[in-house]
Structure 1
Amino acid sequence: MDPRIREHAQTIVDHSTRVEEGDNVVVSAPPVAEDLVTAICELLGERGAYVVTTDSNSRFDRAFLRASDSEEFETPSHQLALFEEADVLINIRAEENATEMSDVDPEVNAAWRRAYQPIQKEALSKRWCLTQYPAKGSAQLAGMSTEEYENFVYDAVSLDWEKQEELQAQMVEIMDDAEEVRIVSGDETDVTMSVAGNTTINDKGEHNLPGGEVFTAPVKDSVNGEVYFDLPLYRQGREVSGVRVTFEDGEVVEYSAERNEEVLDGVFDTDEGARYLGELGIGMNRSIDRFSYNMLFDEKMGDTVHMAVGSAYPETVGDDNEVNESAEHVDMIVDMSEESRIEVDGEVVQRNGTFVFEDGF
């Protein structure tokens, strides 16, 4: 077994989820990630935890969703019961065929997301970690050789997370005192939002591995302006690119995409909360230096900002502000490397990807 797999497993168990003796742990992964699951299970046994493994397989998901009557979807109570009894949830992504879900109707996906929402909400209340195994299908989607993609993944997940936390803490300090944030990029993105009273989280490789961002929630009705998301997202086996969104008083009032706009139709029609922003995130992981069609990595890239329509993380929302709730949470990315700036209360804190506390600002 590649020693980097064991290192990855140790980071998940000891840093990301802090597994303790007696913990009930659920590990979800496709078969292609069996080496990482094996390494995790060994560590769980050493620590006196108990483990249930489940097979997360997009081929199975496709078969189920295409055969089902979406009007009859109900929350799967047996999975909810499993998550309710768990202390730790570990979800490993790895693709053998990244386009497996491409022929599932977006409306069916939206209906399933609505039914699944109580399970997702329960999962977020646990110690959880979402990570990536460098499978060949994921490498192909990223346009990399297998070896190149393995290096890419392991370099990103094996950072010195204490050092990364210290870097990001400087941006957290700026954001925690902020009232208003403005994002400007080129001629097509100029959006403002209030973050007053909300909390900024320093993502240091715990819930997401790799980590490498700071994120908060906008005040729900405060977002105004237009955004051109110039980096594509890969969702439901489809590339959605050239997305333009207009916000008025927090709500998405107009949108378009140059490719696969129907995927956005399904997202925004899922529920009322899907038309509001739940997250503003600022990428700060410089080890992720290329786009890979994988939001777990792409949203963490330095020189990027991402905004997620849909649910907000409750820990980012202050007591006096409303938590946006939705069955969706869809991140989209703005490239901030050129002709761009982030303003906090009228002061420029990032220009063309360089932060005010970095050399070259």
Structure 2
Amino acid sequence: MDPRIREHAEIIVNHSVDVQRGDNVRISAPPLARDLVIALHELLGERGAHPSLSLRDSAATRAYRRAVDPEDLECPSHVLAAAEETDVFIAIRASENTYETSDVDPEVTAAFGQAYKPIQDEVMGKRWVGTQFPAPGNAQDAEMSTEAYEEFVWNAITKDWDAQREFQQQLVEILDPAETVRIKSGEETDLTMSIAGNPTVNDYGEKNLPGGEVFTAPIPDSVEGEVLFDKPLMAQGREITGVYLEFEDGEVVDHAAEKNEDVLSTVLETDDGARRIGELGIGMNRDITAFTYNMLFDEKMGDTVHLAIGRAYEETVGEDNEGNDSAVHMDMIVDMSEDSFIEVDGEVVQRDGTFRFEDGFEA
């Protein structure tokens, strides 16, 4: 076995979810991630934890969602019961074909998300991590050889996370006491929001592996302006490009996309919270050096900002504030590498992708 797989597993068990003796651990993974699953089971055995394995198969997901009547979808009580008895969730991604579910009706996918929301809420309240095992389908999306993609993935994952935490903490200390944030990029993006009273989270490889972002939640009705997400994203097995959103009083009042606008429209109609922003994230992982059509990595890139329509993470909502609730959480990225700045309480803290605490910053 590649020693990097063992190291990947050790980071998950020891750092990301801190598995303890006696923990009930659920691993959800596709067959392509078999080697990482084996390494995890070995470590869990050494730790005295109790693993269960859930096989995930995108072709099976496609078959079910194409066959099911959305009216029949409801929260499966046996899956919810298993989630309630689980202490730690480890979700592993690895794809043969990232477009496998591209011919599933977006309305079915939205209905599925609504039905499974109680399970998702249960998972979010536990220790959990999502990570990537390098696989040919993901390498193709990244336009890399399988070997080059392996190097890319493990460079981003097997790093000094304590040092990354310290680097990111500098931005946390700027955002935590802040009132307002403005994001300006080119002629198309000029967005303001209040984050007053909402905590800022330092993501250094815990819930997401790789980590490498700082994120918080806006006050739901405070978002004003317009934003062009100039990086593409994959949603419901389809590529969406050129997403444009306009906000008034925190709500999307106009939207467009260059490609697959129907998918975007369906997501926005999922529920009331789907038309509001649940997350503001700022990428800070300088070891992610290429855009790969994989949001787990792309949103962590230095020189990017991402916003998620839908659910706000509970830990980013202040005690006296209201969080945005939704069955969806869809991240979208703005490239901040040129003709861009982030302004916090009227002061520029990043210009053209460089933070004020980094060399080369120009006020």
Partner of 1:153: 153
User: What is the CA deviation profile of residues 75-130 of structure 1, one whole-angstrom value per residue up to 9, with x for unaligned ones?
Assistant: 01111111100000000000011110000010000000000100000000110000
Partner of 2:237: 237
Unaligned runs of 5+ in 1: none
Aligned mates of 2:239, 2:144 — CA distance in 1:
17
For the aligned residues, what is the CA RMSD? 0.5
Q: Tell me how far 1:51 sits from its aligned partner.
A: 0.5
1:183–1:192 CA contact under 8 A, matched in 2: yes
Runs of 4+ with deviation above 2 angstroms? none
Partner of 1:80: 80
Partner of 1:294: 294
Identity among equivalent pairs (%): 66
Aligned mates of 1:161, 1:282 — CA distance in 2:
17
Q: Tell me how far 1:235 sits from its aligned partner.
A: 1.2
Partner of 2:357: 357
TM-score by length of 2: 0.99
Partner of 1:256: 256
User: What is the CA deviation profile of residues 282-336 of structure 1, one whole-angstrom value per residue up to 9, with x for unaligned ones?
Assistant: 0000000110000000000000000000000011001111111000000000000
Partner of 1:332: 332
Partner of 1:95: 95
- Tell me the number of residue pairs that the alignment of Structure 1 and Structure 2 aligns: 361
Q: Tell me how far 1:252 sits from its aligned partner.
A: 0.6
Aligned mates of 1:106, 1:66 — CA distance in 2:
10
> Residue 221 of structure 1: SS of its match in structure 2?
helix
1:141–1:293 CA contact under 8 A, matched in 2: yes
User: What is the CA deviation profile of residues 164-203 of structure 1, one whole-angstrom value per residue up to 9, with x for unaligned ones?
Assistant: 0000000000000100000000000000000000000000
Partner of 1:266: 266
User: What is the CA deviation profile of residues 22-62 of structure 1, one whole-angstrom value per residue up to 9, with x for unaligned ones?
Assistant: 00000000001000000000000000000100111111111
Counterpart AA for 1:38? I
1:339–1:352 CA contact under 8 A, matched in 2: yes
Q: Tell me how far 1:142 sits from its aligned partner.
A: 1.2
TM-score by length of 1: 1.00
Counterpart AA for 1:315? E
User: What is the CA deviation profile of residues 135-161 of structure 1, one whole-angstrom value per residue up to 9, with x for unaligned ones?
Assistant: 111111111100000000000011100
Partner of 1:342: 342
Counterpart AA for 1:167? F
Partner of 1:2: 2
1:121 aligns with 2:121: yes
Counterpart AA for 2:218? P
Counterpart AA for 2:86? A
Counterpart AA for 1:121? D
Counterpart AA for 1:254? D
Partner of 2:284: 284
> Residue 215 of structure 1: SS of its match in structure 2?
strand
Counterpart AA for 1:132? Q
Aligned mates of 1:338, 1:160 — CA distance in 2:
28
Q: Tell me how far 1:236 sits from its aligned partner.
A: 1.5
> Residue 293 of structure 2: SS of its match in structure 1?
coil
Partner of 1:191: 191
Unaligned runs of 5+ in 2: none
> Residue 82 of structure 1: SS of its match in structure 2?
helix
Partner of 1:182: 182
Farther-moved stretch of structure 1 (179-188 vs 134-143) = 134-143
1:302–1:353 CA contact under 8 A, matched in 2: yes
1:164 aligns with 2:164: yes
Partner of 2:141: 141
Aligned mates of 1:162, 1:73 — CA distance in 2:
43
Aligned mates of 2:352, 2:164 — CA distance in 1:
21
